[in-house]
Structure 1
């Protein structure tokens, strides 16, 4: 029991350290990040998990579309959203994930949409990005992924929004401010 408690405490310290590092780094290394390439790299990193579940993944992102951000943060956010979709899928229904990106006047938006269990936004919306907040009772849920993702988006002056209904899936919108694109 002591070992389990020590391991959990160590994990909490590591997670808190990550959040503090994100929030306190004034020299965040912003650069142009290719959205589709980054997404494919993340999918390849979880290939075994994806193959096990075998979801239908639909990617609707123009080749060469870039956002101004921190590549490790963007990779981490993509990883968290994809693994959450897989983790919170509905049983006995073919998992579907759509990732699309589009440019608007002020933002380039990357949207992750799934047909999973969804989130009761009326009940949990104000707590969704809180530390250690979980909403589905999964034993392996830690309630840190969305908290870190929100902090990473904030550090890039970007926004994360959620649209969801119970049993109707979830859509996470990542809105990156448009910058003048210089040479890559």
Structure 2
């Protein structure tokens, strides 16, 4: 990351979404043009947990990495499987503590939920959303045009549908000052 950032800086190429700590990774970067100042703000909703940039604390300078939009995924199954899910939930509850209700089960970091339609559901981390929206408002104050970019593979690379949170997030970003919101990452044309 540092080497790539160095080469981009040396060549005058604007980039965003990475930094030496979380504040730098989330901040808008600017490009001066003859038609005005363009801001670029970027984050990733598809990332390994260790790729997230960290906040500085005390004498620690923070951890280099990405600006994140962490998601809590729920896998939804047909309602006819609700009985089996309840059985697994009762068995699992005896083994260790769990969260959920009679129609959901958290196992191996994922929540499984009985639903009418089979698919995936995602809940964005509210702290990440608040940070991103704050950074959009800040970038808007200092630019004539603001582009927000999200690297995301949600729900999966094979999906032709956007994730369920995409529309409300896009509205929030535009309401906060984004002129354009671009999502890239699924390996499809």
User: What is the TM-score with the length of structure 1 in the denominator?
Assistant: 0.27
Indicate the structure with greater helix content: 1
User: What is the TM-score with the length of structure 2 in the denominator?
Assistant: 0.26
Indicate the structure with greater strand content: 2
Rg comparison, structure with higher value = 2
